[in-house]
Structure 1
Amino acid sequence: MPIRIPDQLPARKTLENEGVVVMDKSRSARQDIRPLQFGLLNLMPNKERTETQFARLIAATPLQIDLSLVRITDHDSKNTPEEYLQTFYQTWEEVRERKFDGFVVTGAPIANLPFEDVRYWPEMVEIMDWTQTNVHHTMFICWGAQAALHHFHDVKRFRRDKKAFGVFRHRVLDTRSPYLRGFSDDLAVPVSRNNDIDRSSVSSDLEVLIDSEEVGICMLNDRKYRALYMLNHLEYDNRSLADEYERDVKAGLDPELPANLFPGNDPSQMPENRWRSHAHLLFQNWINEIYQTTPYDLGKVGTGEW
């Protein structure tokens, strides 16, 4: 895996401790190849945890990838110090003239708000349109996926009667998809959302790749807008759902135990990760497909000239 991230980024030490080889700038310059350019628009409050989760998956490839951390331009984070953001992140305004081979847009903890009521929605619309001219392929996650489906396809969403929270079995609908090579016929996927998308509003332009009778559509492919929409969280680590549960308990919200997460439904036990292999496989397939189809001349990304 060669992935290049800022030298002092906390995620770097975590990845190195896991055996991931992180490349510095001088070493990458000696390799006579064009590194793939990836961006991560991190909308989550816990920036460090989220960037580590996605860097871990993007790193699982023999290709050299430069990962740029991006944030909304005019948004003050309540959970991440400004010094941290100034050190490791660029605003979207600072990267909007760049081209990217791959781009990830994360979820955001604002699911209860109508899209147009989100304070940074106008910039989100600009970013989503910008992916069509400056990004070869985009993966939208959770709220990011719902936002892009709403913007590009007018897909409707609705509030669930009960929050989908836990680890649920899903089935693969298209084993021929290049993004699902090597996937089992069914898989466990972490889910944490109060909203769902309305199946009747999903047009024929969208291909449902992974689905669940219990908690709804999981992932869709969009050939027209060169995007994948992942509504759930294969990137989660062992304790992501457990920490969310404990946070809500401490807040007095009386949450239900995450389904199928703790061994014996005992929250004192460490959750077992039953989705890690599919998370790595999805990102390896996605990156491989980008590598096979992106132009060598990065300037031609988004122009249709290749």
Structure 2
Amino acid sequence: MPIRLAADFPAKAVLESEDIFAIADSRAKHQDIRPLKLLILNLMPNKIDTEIHLLRLISQSPLQIDVNFLKITSHEHKHTSKTHLDEFYLDFSQVKETCYDGLIITGAPVEQLAFEEVDYWPELVEIMEWSQSSVTSVVHICWGAQAGLYHHFGVDKVAFKEKLFGIYKQAIKHQFRLFRGFDDRFWMPQSRYTGIDEEQVRQKKIRVIAKDESGQSTILISEDEHDIFLMGHFEYGTDTLEKEYLRDRERGIATAKPQNYYEDGNIHNSWRAQAHLFYHNWLNDVYQFTPYRLEEIRQLQKERKLRSI
């Protein structure tokens, strides 16, 4: 799969070292196809790591994909250089008149705040509202999933007594296209202090398609199939949880070692195959449903919403 990236995009060298094909922008312009246009709203502090993790997964599609990264402008980004953001990220003002085939909204380390206390909440709400008419499909990750469920459906967060941290077994509750090729049981990384109000979920037009062994909903989808909510982190690299654990310990946070993560003292990656498969299935799904002419996405979304009423 050729991901279309700027020649000097930092993640490009990492992906090429892993034998992942990232096509140069100059070559892509000579290919007579309509690539999928994907937008990633990166809310994570370490943006370059998240870029690599997500690009690694979407690289499994045989489709050509144009990827744009979106930044929040109402927030000071302390962990990524302004030069990187200015060169490789767009403001919402630059995309709001455009349509995209897919949007990914990442998690963010703000889940212990009320949604309205997050300094960029109004801007995020504007982006989520725009996505309902201008994007064919949206994947929300972790806090991004909680934010989407709260804004679109009024589902509240529920605080845990301690951090849910590790790799947890999931069970498919409803077969869906996103699970093509999945085992009936699979593993997914989790790193969060909050969950969602399960009773409220049952009262809304939301399908729970996967749960963990404790009965918590972990993958959900809106009734019109436009919005997908991942409570966990398929995109995590093999050592991401260990880095987070060590960082918490250095900060004096009493985080327990991630569960089901180490085997004989070594990190055991048990989610890699399903992670690649999930994003491959999602992009294939988007390709099947999105119109050839991007501007027709708005009409498609109107029809989709009407069918779900």
Q: Which digits, 9 at most, give the CA deviation of each residue in 1:106-160, with x for residues without a partner?
A: 0011011000111111111101100012111100001110001001111121100
Is the CA contact 1:15–1:56 (under 8 Å) kept in the aligned structure 2?
yes
Structure-2 residue corresponding to 1:286:
282
One-letter identity of the residue aligned with 2:187: A
Q: CA deviation at 1:262?
A: 1.4
Tell me how far apart the structure 2 counterparts of residues 281 and 152 of structure 1 sit (CA, whole Å).
27
One-letter identity of the residue aligned with 1:274: S
Identity value in percent: 39
Tell me how far apart the structure 1 counterparts of residues 239 and 214 of structure 2 sit (CA, whole Å).
22
Tell me how far apart the structure 2 counterparts of residues 224 and 150 of structure 1 sit (CA, whole Å).
17
Q: Does 1:34 align with 2:30?
A: no
Tell me how far apart the structure 2 counterparts of residues 223 and 17 of structure 1 sit (CA, whole Å).
40
Tell me how far apart the structure 2 counterparts of residues 257 and 132 of structure 1 sit (CA, whole Å).
39
Q: Map residues 240-251 of structure 1 onto 2, 5 A cutoff.
A: 240-251=240-251
Aligned length: 301
Is the CA contact 1:295–1:301 (under 8 Å) kept in the aligned structure 2?
yes
Structure-2 residue corresponding to 1:168:
168
Is the CA contact 2:163–2:255 (under 8 Å) kept in the aligned structure 1?
no
Q: CA deviation at 1:244?
A: 0.4
Tell me how far apart the structure 2 counterparts of residues 24 and 195 of structure 1 sit (CA, whole Å).
41
1:299 is paired with a residue of what secondary structure? helix
Tell me how far apart the structure 2 counterparts of residues 302 and 145 of structure 1 sit (CA, whole Å).
23
Structure-2 residue corresponding to 1:128:
128
One-letter identity of the residue aligned with 2:174: D
Q: Does 1:299 align with 2:295?
A: yes
Structure-1 residue corresponding to 2:307:
none
Q: Which runs of 5+ in 2 are unaligned?
A: 304-309
One-letter identity of the residue aligned with 1:233: H
One-letter identity of the residue aligned with 2:150: H
Tell me how far apart the structure 2 counterparts of residues 301 and 154 of structure 1 sit (CA, whole Å).
26
Is the CA contact 1:132–1:225 (under 8 Å) kept in the aligned structure 2?
no
Q: CA deviation at 1:223?
A: 3.2
What is the TM-score when the length of structure 2 is the normalising length? 0.95
Q: Which digits, 9 at most, give the CA deviation of each residue in 1:184-204, with x for residues without a partner?
A: 000111110000101100035
2:75 is paired with a residue of what secondary structure? coil
Q: Which digits, 9 at most, give the CA deviation of each residue in 1:195-234, with x for residues without a partner?
A: 0101100035111111013372111011336110001001
What is the TM-score when the length of structure 1 is the normalising length? 0.95
Q: Map residues 138-287 of structure 1 onto 2, 5 A cutoff.
A: 138-175=138-175, 177-202=176-201, 203-214=203-214, 216-224=216-224, 226-264=226-264, 266=265, 269=266, 271-287=267-283
1:221 is paired with a residue of what secondary structure? strand
Tell me how far apart the structure 1 counterparts of residues 61 and 106 of structure 2 sit (CA, whole Å).
21
Tell me how far apart the structure 2 counterparts of residues 72 and 125 of structure 1 sit (CA, whole Å).
11
Tell me how far apart the structure 2 counterparts of residues 9 and 101 of structure 1 sit (CA, whole Å).
22
Tell me how far apart the structure 2 counterparts of residues 55 and 38 of structure 1 sit (CA, whole Å).
11
Report the RMSD for the aligned CA atoms in angstroms. Answer: 1.3
Is the CA contact 1:205–1:223 (under 8 Å) kept in the aligned structure 2?
yes
Tell me how far apart the structure 2 counterparts of residues 142 and 198 of structure 1 sit (CA, whole Å).
14
One-letter identity of the residue aligned with 1:180: F
